[in-house]
Chain A
Amino acid sequence: MSHQPKTSAHRQTPIAQTASGNGRVLAGLADIVKIYTIPGSPVEIPAIRGVSIEVKEGEYVAICGHSGSGKSTLLNLLGCLDHPTSGRYTLGGLDVSKLDDNALSEIRSQRLGFVFQSFNLIPQLTLLENLEVPLIYQGISPILRRQRALEFIERVELSDRINHRPMELSGGQQQRVAIARAMVNDPLLILADEPTGNLDTATGEIILKLFDQLHNEGKTIILITHERSVAEHCRRIITLRDGYVIEDIDTRSNTSKP
């Protein structure tokens, strides 16, 4: 396996002090490779060819790239939905790259929050119930669950719609619920996959403001997008192409990492 320009840890350190990061590495990818194989066929499809990234606490990172660049694969790996073929992924100090399905579910439940392009709320459930879903799998008591869900739905200003179904809401409103859902389990890392992809520009702007706000509160956010304008909300932009990191820049200082 050929290794492309390596962004090793010691070279990243100074830049990581930027943004609101406090310097502690939250998510660390080291030499991550992901190759898809088709069962029964010798064909191998490399999606990620060796990526090393470190995301520090409180960072607001965009991962950019065209389709086929490997950004979705990277998101799946960051989201503990998939195993890397090789390499090491540490999340919150825990090596999760070799964990089994059960343990990964646990990690997703405790440490991660997802925001999807198509919102992915459960259509049969009310907004409030949708917010409770992650808490159910944490085994939180119904009363506490309800309390937490109400608290977070208020934060996205949809308290008057708690008993509505997702289909009765506009896309922007649905995405706000989805963001609330991603927050409700108090995750270490929020992963957003094209969160504005299904929204018009104005609504998308509202959603991005919400992410900005979360960032200001100290949340660590990784946002996947192919739109430059969206990425520019972030403090750091990592660009992928053909499974490699080709650019890693700090938008404030505009310093590029090699």
Chain B
Amino acid sequence: MFSGLAIETIRIGVKSIRLHKLRSFLTALGIICGVGAVICMLSISEGASEAEMILIRLLGTQNVIVRSIRPQGGGDVAEEQAYLLDYGLNRTDLAIIENTIPHIQRVVPLREVAYEVSFGPKRFPVKVVGTLPTFFKTIHVNIAQGRAIQPIDNEKIAKVCVIGDEIRAQLFAYQDPIGRSITVSTYASGTIPFKIVGVLERIETAGTPPTGIGGRNLNNDVFIPLSTAEKRYGDLQYKRTSGSREIFRCIYSDFYVQVDELSNVIPVSEMVNQALTHGHTKSDYTVKVPYERLKIAENEKRRRRIILGAIAGISLIVGGIGIMNIMLATVTERTQEIGIRRALGAKRRHITMQFLIESLILSTVGGMIGVIVGSVGAHLITDLAGWPTIIHLWTILVSFGLALAVGLFFGIYPASAAARLDPIEALRHT
């Protein structure tokens, strides 16, 4: 019985809306714009956050990254005069971390040995990095083509390499790089060819430069076995910069320390920092905790989401006021009908439901169209402005839900005003 009445009420609502097509459309337009704005705003916010999140996840939330940094100039004058800059992480540091700190699954050292590769006549600035086979697993990066560096490569001190996607694109635009050799030249070790065995998948970070947080642009790296890096290249490196040359010693550029559990990440990072302090007189290393960054980024994301969502939400409220306005007009216009229905046995709640359902229909239809408009709008933003946008399912559900809530909220007053009308007065109304 109730469902029959509900269907009837919905039918009445649809009928009344169709009776005033333009008016209903204009009313729904407020909701359409509101929902569209919410979706666009949230999709921009999500798109921006997602880019950062990808970067952070790439570093691995369970990792602690220790990175060598060149001390700033004006430090040790004597050392600079000796033309030897000695800084960064060394073998002792690696041993300390591996042997004294608990909760560590593995430590992957990275050793930079050269900064340019060439293929035929083409040269390309890169970073040639020696590392262990476990590196790729630690940072959750997949191999797009070929294979990763294997333990056997390290054993055999093989001259093989895995290249980043940018290098593939620059040097091998129209050919398969697997099996070809690129040449790595350094002042001290001369020219060594490396056979390409694999290509990393492209690291898409949607907008922000991929070097952002970790300081590594994986798309621009050439990975070789760590043993090869150590045996083929000495500890001293020569680097020519414009007009001068420098000699420096930096054994490891990074340690990727993988921690067993997420809850141990922060304590481990503190322990690592403590352990390394003793061996380093100057601040020539830094400890980065992607997990910490993740939390900061998540907070930022939440704030951005709230701010943008609230701005868009205001337009939804304006849409709701539009609904209320029209519903009040409708109630006035249909006062006599209300009186007739009341005389014929409609209870107050029947009248309330009739008008409430009408505003709900307006906001539902407006919300549905708004979802479509918002989705199209987000795509246009990406296409025209080049901003990354992401529409999550929850974005759609939340904005649609908000539209319904607005329709309900702003529909209640006109509906109850209609129900409160005195049937005698209403009947007399013309």
Binding site for B on A (CB under 8 A): 76, 79, 81-82, 101-102, 105-106, 108-110, 114, 116, 118, 120-124, 133-134, 136-139, 141-142, 181, 185
Is B336 interfacial (CB 8 A cutoff)? Answer: yes
C-alpha spacing A108/B19, complex, angstroms:
29
Is B347 interfacial (CB 8 A cutoff)? Answer: yes
Query: Are B340 and A122 interface neighbours, CB within 8 A?
Result: yes
- With A81-B423, A81-B424, A136-B5 given, is the CB distance from A108 to B345 under 8 Å? yes
Query: Are A124 and B343 interface neighbours, CB within 8 A?
Result: no
Is B69 interfacial (CB 8 A cutoff)? Answer: no
Query: Are B16 and A134 interface neighbours, CB within 8 A?
Result: no
Query: Are A133 and B341 interface neighbours, CB within 8 A?
Result: yes
C-alpha spacing A122/B339, complex, angstroms:
10
How many positions in chain B have a CB within 8 Å of any CB in the partner chain?
26
- With A76-B424, A124-B16 given, is the CB distance from A139 to B345 under 8 Å? no
Partner of B345, one of A110, A116, A123, A124: A110
C-alpha spacing A185/B1, complex, angstroms:
16
Q: Which residue of A lies closest to B339 (CB)?
A: A120
Is B23 interfacial (CB 8 A cutoff)? Answer: no
Query: Are A138 and B340 interface neighbours, CB within 8 A?
Result: no
CB-CB contacts of B171-206 with A at 8 A, as 1s and 0s?
Answer: 000000000000000000000000000000000000
Contacts of B336 in A (CB 8 A): 120
Q: Which residue of A lies closest to B344 (CB)?
A: A134
Inter-chain contact total with CB atoms closer than 8 Å: 70
List 14 other contacts, CB 8 Å, given A101-B347, A133-B341: A101-B348, A105-B342, A105-B345, A114-B343, A121-B340, A122-B340, A124-B19, A134-B344, A137-B341, A137-B350, A138-B345, A139-B4, A141-B4, A142-B4
Chosen A-B contacts, 5 in total, with CB atoms closer than 8 Å, are: A114-B343, A118-B430, A122-B337, A134-B345, A142-B8
Separation in Å of the A15 CB from the closest CB of chain B?
A: 31
Contacts of B430 in A (CB 8 A): 118
C-alpha spacing A115/B64, complex, angstroms:
85
Query: Are B345 and A137 interface neighbours, CB within 8 A?
Result: yes
CB-CB contacts of B308-343 with A at 8 A, as 1s and 0s?
Answer: 000000000000000000000000000011011111
Contacts of A76 in B (CB 8 A): 424
A79, A114, A136, A138, most chain B CB atoms within 10 A: A136
CB-CB contacts of B1-32 with A at 8 A, as 1s and 0s?
Answer: 11011011000000110010000000000000
- With A76-B424, A81-B424, A124-B16 given, is the CB distance from A137 to B344 under 8 Å? yes
Partner of B344, one of A101, A114, A118: A114
Is B397 interfacial (CB 8 A cutoff)? Answer: no
The 3 closest A-B pairs by CB, nearest first: A109-B345, A137-B345, A139-B1
Query: Are A105 and B5 interface neighbours, CB within 8 A?
Result: no
C-alpha spacing A129/B430, complex, angstroms:
21
Is B346 interfacial (CB 8 A cutoff)? Answer: yes
- With A81-B424, A120-B336 given, is the CB distance from A105 to B346 under 8 Å? yes
C-alpha spacing A116/B423, complex, angstroms:
13
Query: Are B346 and A120 interface neighbours, CB within 8 A?
Result: no
Separation in Å of the B160 CB from the closest CB of chain A?
A: 78
Contacts of B350 in A (CB 8 A): 137
Residues of chain B in range 401-430 having any CB-CB distance to chain A below 8 Å: 423-424, 427, 430
Contacts of B337 in A (CB 8 A): 122-124
C-alpha spacing A110/B346, complex, angstroms:
11
Q: Which residue of B lies closest to A122 (CB)?
A: B337
C-alpha spacing A81/B342, complex, angstroms:
9
Residues of chain B in range 332-378 having any CB-CB distance to chain A below 8 Å: 336-337, 339-348, 350
Contacts of B19 in A (CB 8 A): 124
C-alpha spacing A118/B427, complex, angstroms:
10
Contacts of A185 in B (CB 8 A): 345
Q: Which residue of B lies closest to A75 (CB)?
A: B424
Contacts of B5 in A (CB 8 A): 136-137, 139
Query: Are B424 and A105 interface neighbours, CB within 8 A?
Result: no
C-alpha spacing A123/B430, complex, angstroms:
12
C-alpha spacing A116/B427, complex, angstroms:
10
Contacts of B348 in A (CB 8 A): 101-102, 105
A82, A124, A181, most chain B CB atoms within 10 A: A124
Contacts of A110 in B (CB 8 A): 345
Q: Which residue of B lies closest to A123 (CB)?
A: B337
Residues of chain B in range 245-267 having any CB-CB distance to chain A below 8 Å: none
Partner of B340, one of A79, A120, A142: A120
Contacts of B343 in A (CB 8 A): 79, 81, 108, 114, 120
Q: Which residue of B lies closest to A133 (CB)?
A: B344
Q: Which residue of A lies closest to B430 (CB)?
A: A118
- With A105-B342, A108-B343, A134-B344 given, is the CB distance from A124 to B15 under 8 Å? yes
Q: Which residue of A lies closest to B5 (CB)?
A: A139
Q: Which residue of B lies closest to A181 (CB)?
A: B344
B2, B345, B424, most chain A CB atoms within 10 A: B345
Separation in Å of the B238 CB from the closest CB of chain A?
A: 90
Q: Which residue of A lies closest to B337 (CB)?
A: A122
Query: Are B347 and A120 interface neighbours, CB within 8 A?
Result: no
- With A116-B427, A120-B427, A124-B15 given, is the CB distance from A106 to B344 under 8 Å? no
Contacts of B340 in A (CB 8 A): 120-122, 133
Contacts of A138 in B (CB 8 A): 345
Query: Are A108 and B427 interface neighbours, CB within 8 A?
Result: no
Contacts of B423 in A (CB 8 A): 81
Contacts of A81 in B (CB 8 A): 342-343, 423-424, 427
- With A120-B336, A122-B340 given, is the CB distance from A137 to B347 under 8 Å? yes
Query: Are B345 and A106 interface neighbours, CB within 8 A?
Result: yes
C-alpha spacing A109/B348, complex, angstroms:
13
Separation in Å of the B416 CB from the closest CB of chain A?
A: 13
C-alpha spacing A185/B344, complex, angstroms:
9
